[in-house]
Structure 1
Amino acid sequence: MLLDKAGNRSPLSDFVRVDVALGPMPDGLQLPVVPLAVADGEINQPDALVGVYVEIPSFNNFKPRDRIEVTWGTKVLDTEEIGVSPTFPFPIRVPSPVLVGQYDLQVGGAQPTNVSYRILRGSVGSAEQAITIDVDLSYVGPDNPDWPDPTNPSLPTPEVYGKNSNTLNVLTRADAGQVAELKFDLYGPLEEDEVIDFYWGSQLVTEARYIVTDTDNPGDPITREIPWDRIRDEGNNPALPVYYSIHAPGSENEQHCVPISVDVDVITVVPDAPDFQGRNPTTNWLTCVSLYADPDNPAPGEPGIRVTVPDLSMHLKAGDTVKVTWTPLSGRTGETPIVPAIKSDDIILDATTVKGFTWLVQPYVDHILPTYDPEGPGGSNGRGRIQYEFFNGTETLQSGITEEVVAVYNAGGSCPIPPKP
């Protein structure tokens, strides 16, 4: 203020700001690190999708209210307070709009980009620590309004047809064992040697890759084949995602079309076959020794033939039903079932049996002994055939079939069955 001789005081002058930073300033600062650029020396489109971070190594003399100010290119990011118990290296995320805004898509290629930081105490800043990394967010094909998101709605939509069913985006059981045809029109603009890859569900179909030639033009129709092995391995799916991607040779910056959904129902699922327990160790047949798990301590229901039904938990749950069938046949060969001796049971699964259970073919007299018919056309030997089936909510699935020779006799005739106590 000013005072005249009479002591009159003038108005106050304007203030001047004085920045105050108390205590020792941060020191021991090291260069920043961009982890995703360490491995290959650059930041590309896949990195941008994962999320790019600048990591600040540990340093000395920091205070909780100190702030880290990172600059990406020419863009200063929002500062972040260090806090009371910081974890080093201290990560600072670079927002996608900053990555996009600091990259010149018209120039393309790998562009050197400044990455630096300083520590602020109030408005007093430390010395700046800076590195330079390459950033390449370039891509081929039509403009992508959602870049760097790889899904480009401007790319033509593909179509899929079954070899036999020939229905748009549908594969049926009639197409089993056959290739599928994927058709699409070439995008534009395009350049020679650009790479087009195709994805069938989770699988990259390398056999279908297409390299753009110097005679290709935007709008040209292209047909590629999806091998049966790929279709079989991916399995049935009422909404299988199918799409293609494009990229320059050697570039990881891909664009891909909006995926289509293909209704795939080509695989007939055959659950694992059941099996017999207690085969004769010499012949592997079902003989008199097969009728008891422990002849000295017969279990309830024995004599009978024990059948193992495998774990069905990948198909069913507790409360679901499995139908198990024993079909005896006359003789060692031929297809003559012994109809009166066929046995089927509907088994309601619980939390234990859904993981596998044993089913007993009994009574012996009704279902097993009829295979022994020394005077009949089949003779003394017969066969037993076992299979199970269930409804999985969509269709009825039948398991594989297990068949074995049944020889329930010895030198004196049919197997001696001790009377029940």
Structure 2
Amino acid sequence: MSNLSSKQTRVLASALARAVNQQDQASKKRLSTLANLSAPIAPVWWGGDPAFAGLVPRDEQEKDMPINIPQWPNGAGQGENDYLQFEWKLSTSGTWQSAQGVIPIAGPLQPGDFPMELQLSKSNFAVQGTFDLRYTVTNEAGNTAESDITQFIIDKTAPNYGQAPDAATFVDPVVISDGITQDYLDAHGGLELVIPAYQDEQPGDNLEVYVHEVGTSPTKPVFTGVIDSSRQIMVPADAFSGLLDGLIYVSYRLVDKVGNKGAPADNATAGLFLNPLPIAPLAAPSVPKIVDDSVLQLADIDLVNVALVEIDPYPNALENDLLVLTWGSAALKVTHRITDPFATIFLNVPYETILKPAYGTATTVLPTPVSYVVERGDKTFASDTATINVDFFVPGPVNPDRPDPVNPDLPRVTVKGAVSTVPNVLTDVDVGGDVTVTLKLYDPIGTGEEMVLFWGDSTKEVARLSPVVGTAGDDYDFVLDWDAIKDLPSSTAVPVFYTVGRITPPGNIEACVPTLVDVSAALPIKLANPEFPLAARAPDGTPILNCSTHFGPEQLVRVRIPANPNLQGGETLDFTWQCYTDRAGTQPAGAASTFSKTITAEQVADGFTFDQGPFDEYVLPTGLNGSIRVTYVSVTTPPMQGETLIRASGLNAAGQCPPNTLRAFGAGGCGC
């Protein structure tokens, strides 16, 4: 079996075909008195090197080829034409074919017309192989003469048959163990590589070497050269300038003499360390959210936990360093690619994939190690470890929505009035009676746990069961005295809920889904309480409307109604103004005065101010040391109410307060 490659076979076949053709032509000349025309002349390639005779460069295969035709003896005369036909065949074939259309050559032909340059169509170069080219000249008498042949080799197969060759190897093992440093490049002048053996090696094969960062695609080689018998090359040191420290790839492409490029070789990987390295141990990470109590709890986190961990810039940090954070026993890591070496690093630590698995089934504070490493190339630099106390335990059933503090698996409450029978609705018949909040005890119940009942929001605690006693699933009633809720906000949808947590802090709490209770028929819905912007301060520090605050000739009282988001605009507000002779507001001074105002949407959003009088009706009845209660109720369904009691005085030691002529309209303070 032959050991020749396919390309060697083609070159040898071409040479043998030339020898056979030359002998055949010589034989024909001996046997015949007829002489062939001179062979067509191809362009000169490869500096005329006979080892590559007839080998057509790759880029020349993509365009028409200039062919020079020597002078033939009996050319066309004046008014005549010769007709030239290029013919083309595989060297192994005995059948000639027309290479393109006939070319008419007009006479008279002179020696100066030769050699005559004609174009051979590029369509003849579409198929790989060794080909023969000749031409024929036919005169007007119909006589045809043939030329000798010229051979061409059309090669379209890249080295290694176009397949990706194996990765290059590094001559010096120090490159693998220590990486490529600036000192190494300075000492060696570059990086030596060995190209592995590949299929169909041929004289004249070249290679292009590429050096690039991981995650990038090279477009321009850093080195090109001929492959010698050692297949060893030196990549110059400046090929590595401009690259970021870290892992780099070294690859190459084989290129044959013609210019056929093979597939990129597999990557050889090395660490590039041209800059100073980080110095381990690096500073430990920190969790700023626990500075107040030193424990990371559910209230400190959410699902994403943006910037939960903070890391100070470390010495010798570089762009493209990879920081990898480990949180406790969590298998998943947090990674961060450095883009600004001088900036503080903030890391997100997701709850579901990292915090939750690391805490596991713990029921107490769990000391959790948190650390990180910096990866640069194939080197790592570890930090000191921070121990973070973590407490995610909450009594009761596991919350499927944790860390959301509302647990849909906690039993919800039902609210009942003393008289009415409709659940979660209190009416006027329930006023003054007990309110019962019923629920089923959660499962499981542990020791040292408590339930806290809230009415309206998480600041309005109305009852507590501490510790929780009983059996999971049993009914339990919180019984509330009416006084516990009578001064709380009213609405058609007051949220009532409880939380579960440990009795002894620190600890986490979760709430059941609130039950919305309609108390609008039993308690007035709260509007913003009236304010008195010109009120003065009595000697004991309490606000008061006194002689200094009644302004203008009519001694009016300025009242401000703050913004009221429960209103929309267009509603009528009914005001009641009641004077009392005592400061506690228990001794009315005659009948109350009433008036109404219709408000706009702008007044709802921004609040509004009005001045009320006359003095004799609205202030003087308070005497020396009385009070005024201003109440207003919306004409809506249900009605809503705001109310303020303020100390007031219409008399001084000499008698009735005189008009306060020194006060400018709208002024505040004492009126001086």
**Same fold per superposition (TM over 0.5):** yes
3-state SS of the aligned residue for 1:59?
coil
Alignment-derived partner of residue 311 in structure 1: 560
Residue 45 of structure 1 is matched in structure 2 by 298
Contiguous gaps of at least 5 residues in structure 2: 1-195, 204-227, 232-252, 255-264, 533-550, 579-587, 618-628, 649-672
Q: Quickly say closer, same or farther: Cα 1:393–1:249, change in 2 above 3 A.
A: closer
153-162 or 143-152, which moves further after superposition? 143-152
Which of 474, 483, 489 matches 1:220?
Answer: 474
Answer yes or no: is the 8 Å Cα contact 2:486–2:523 preserved in 1.
Answer: yes
Which of 423, 426, 451 is 1:196 aligned to? Answer: 451
Give the conservation status (yes or no) of the 8 Å contact 1:197–1:204: no
2:337: which partner in 1?
81
Matched to 1:124, the amino acid is: K
Correspondence for 1:104:
360
Residue 256 of structure 1 is aligned with which of 511, 516, 519? 511
Query: Displacement of 1:115 after TM fit?
Result: 0.8
Over aligned residues, Cα RMSD in angstroms? 4.9
Give yes or no for the alignment of 1:237 onto 2:491. yes
Conserved in 2, the CA contact under 8 Å of 1:70 and 1:76? no
Residue 130 of structure 1: how far off its partner (Å)? 1.9
CA distance in 1, matches of 2:631, 2:294: 60
Equivalent in the alignment of 1:133: 388
Say if 2:530 and 2:560, in contact at 8 Å, map to a contact too: no
Which residues of structure 1 form unaligned runs of 5+? 276-291, 295-304, 328-333, 338-342, 368-384, 405-421
Aligned 1:208-357 pairs, distance under 5 A: 208-213=464-469, 216-250=470-504, 251-265=506-520, 266-268=522-524, 294=553, 308=557, 310-315=559-564, 321=572, 347=597, 355-357=608-610
Q: CA distance change for structure 1 residues 208 and 130 in 2, over 3 Å: closer, same or farther?
A: closer
Match of 2:271 in 1: 19
- TM-score after normalising by structure 1: 0.65
Shift, 1:233, TM fit: 4.1
Is contact 2:371–2:383 with CA below 8 Å preserved after alignment? yes
Q: Deviations along 1:40-65, whole A, 9 cap, x unmatched? A: 44333333348371211232222232
Aligned: 1:33 with 2:286: yes
Shift of 1:80: 1.5
Q: Which has the larger radius of gyration?
A: 2
User: Is 1:395 aligned to 2:625, yes or no?
Assistant: no
1:310 counterpart letter in structure 2: V
State the shift of 1:100 in Å. Answer: 0.8
Deviation at 1:131, TM superposition (A): 2.6
Distance 1:104 1:274 in 2: 54
Q: Which amino acid letter does the alignment assign opposite residue 423 of structure 2? A: L
3-state SS of 1:100 partner? helix
Contact 2:559–2:612 (Cα < 8 Å) also in 1? no
Residue correspondences, number: 348
What is the identity percentage for the equivalent residue pairs of Structure 1 and Structure 2?
Answer: 27
CA distance in 1, matches of 2:301, 2:596: 56
Distance 1:195 1:344, change over 3 A: closer
Take 1:398 and 1:71, find their aligned partners in 2: how far apart are those partners? 56
Give me the whole-angstrom Cα distance separating, in 2, the residues matched to 1:223 and 1:40.
35
SS in 2 for 1:102: helix
Paired residue for 2:399, among 120, 137, 144?
A: 144
Residue aligning to 2:309: 54
Q: Which has the higher contact order (CA 8 A, sep 6+)?
A: 1
- 1:155 equivalent in alignment to 2:410: yes
For residues 201 and 396 of structure 1, do their structure 2 counterparts lie closer, same or farther at Cα, with a shift above 3 Å needed?
closer
Task: Write the letter of the residue equivalent to 1:209.
Answer: L
- Which amino acid in the other structure matches residue 391 of structure 1? V
SS at match of 2:385: strand
Instruction: Give 1:22 deviation, angstroms.
Output: 2.7
